[in-house]
Chain A
Amino acid sequence: MEWVRFTCAAICLIFAVVMENIAVYGVFKFKFVMNRMHAAAIGDTLGLMLGALGLIILKGVSWFSFKMCLVVFLLWITSAVSSHVIMRMEYSIDEEAVAEETSDIDIQGGGQ
């Protein structure tokens, strides 16, 4: 039983490390901001969850596990919202994207 638990935790932690590596690689690999944000979000969500899950499995049911769940919950909320806000700002100050959108509107208006 102890070995099964240890194996599960180890697999989770290894996958967490792999996910974080993918996130770091993606952040440096992509050129476009939104692609990079997507890559960074992988580490923030899946990597974080897998790492916490591994530690929870190692610890078993205890106050520590409850606190880890709370940490994952709070971090999932905050990191997702902060990514959203950053993307919103990027969208509002990115002149190319805004120009594309307005040109679309112009074409539609001209057609009518």
Chain B
Amino acid sequence: MTLRCIAPLILLLSLCSFVYAQQDTSFNSVITLREVMVQPDTRLSNRKEKKQGPDLQLSTDQLLESIAGVNMIRRGSYAWEPTIRGLNAGQINTTISGMAVFGACTDRMDPASSYIEPNNLQTISVNYGPGDQASGSSIGGGFNFKLKQPRLGNEKKLTGLAGIGYETNAHALQTLAALEYSSARFAIRGNGIFRRAGNYRIGGGELMPFSQYNKWNGGVSARYKLSSHQYVQADYLQDEGWNIGYPALLMDVAYARAKIGSFSYWYQPHSRSVHSWETKLYLNAIHHAMDDTRRPKEQVPMHMDMPGTSATAGFYSEIKWNSQTIHQVTTRLSGYRNRLHAEMTMFPDGGAPMYMLTIPDAQRTRIGVDISDKLAITNRLALITGIRADYDRSSIYTSSGEQQLSGMHEGELNRGDVLYNAYINGKYRLTDRWQLFGNFARAMRSATLQELYGFYLFNRTDGYDYMGNPRLAGEKSWNLSAGAEFQKEKIKIEGQTFLYLFSDYITGKPVSGYSVMTMGATGVKRYANLSSAILYGAEATLNAQLLSFLNIKSINTYTRGEDGDGHALPLIAPFKTVNTATATWRGYRLGAESVISGAQRHVSREAYGETAGEGYSIVNASLGKTFDAGARRWDINLALTNIFDSYYYEHPDILQLPRPGRSMAIHLTLEF
């Protein structure tokens, strides 16, 4: 984004301060600055989990991994890529407080979730389909990371948090702090974290080279109350990572930088028609550069520079309508423009440097309308229905980008797509103990800019260079799910099965007559539509307060997918069961956790380059204690992970990269 783009935005910002806005009421105010709420599928099944004090010292990736149905793809210690029921990349949406954010790396080294820290967050909400919180058309749902809101009129004017943590494996060190000032009309909050880690040791003790990382992240949010009905808020977040190793890939990362800013305006008239109205304008820019200079010479046949940028400007305006009937309608108008630029310069020994655009200046402009209606039909039956229409304009915004693609694609590169998403979620209370729920949705997504315009993007898993295809049809699916919940006193059991029927499933097909760009690559694939694919599975969770001090929790997930040619879909985690027992007594917490994963034999080497993966079993334990000292609260937490030092990996991990072996972490947190 150039200055020329920013200037009219400032103008727009000042104009929009005359526009009414609204008070956000979607989450209540019990959430304090030391917590982050993880909410899978909130409105439907009301599962939510508060992560407290010491959990702020976990990474966003670790928090995501604890959610049922979410599996992470690891390429190293840093920036794991989330999947929801095996769906990933363009099949799921990631937003930060409703803002569209897209990673800049062509090799998926920087999912948007890598630019935020739990310390920034109020809630992480997960959707498993095009539900009422997904911001944008999507097949597999998505994540919304809601940034922590400064609180007006808090009892204590000044609150804060400071923490320090150390982990033996990788000698990971981190410090974090947050401070909030609150008055009746004005509140401001700042937070920061610094993390660094060396190379970790895998199960068995071997060192994993190039698994280090360094990062800092800081955020400031300020809210000002203009009148009893309206207030404004500005948020700014900056995240900078450097010297980050990706042992599963051929290159590391020199830097990954994100600057994310927004301005919001709330209007909360509590009138008969409008309950609240929120309007937000935002900008974000991500700069990312791959780096091979730290790798030994024999691993680098040719030095190359591969920087990429992603810039997004957008807005949304959401109104919650009041109604005297059973309807509770929310409408939302949103739009953004995202520009991606990625390039590669190769430096052969004794030859001239070679330059190319790997994402040849591609942009997407989206404008969408979303209407959802929450109906309380009877006190037993509730429905949430919604439709969403998006118009996507995808194009190449420079002539050098068009010229780069002129040798690959004939005809028009620019295209427009209209997408419709519709869903109906139902919940029926059978008895006081039993509740049934189901979901039926029609979902569509546009092909990503990488899938449309990518230029020799290397996929490490199957070893192919991928070419975009501007003629791709959007991917579509019918999503069905059904489940039941049983709740009796302190036991809650929930089970759910799901089925996704895809048409125009987007995948890569080998093309002949193309020579590979990446040295050692197997061949070249071009993105293509496959007539069909199927994905199905089940999730079951149990939560029981067995004794007053003892809680047990069990999360069990299974997913299986197959494309129309009979090949197993990639990046699908096998059966996994996570069982946790937590005892709390006089401020002490004692936890034990077992994670067991089955082997994944349902893989397709031919189509997706995956190899069968072994199962594993690991055991974790933790001990914590909270001390209250007047207005201050100290928390110390000791966590022992992978106690038996097992060698293991999750199936979606790239090239079956082994995960860390035994490690002990100590976290000390002070809240005031």
A, B in one complex: no
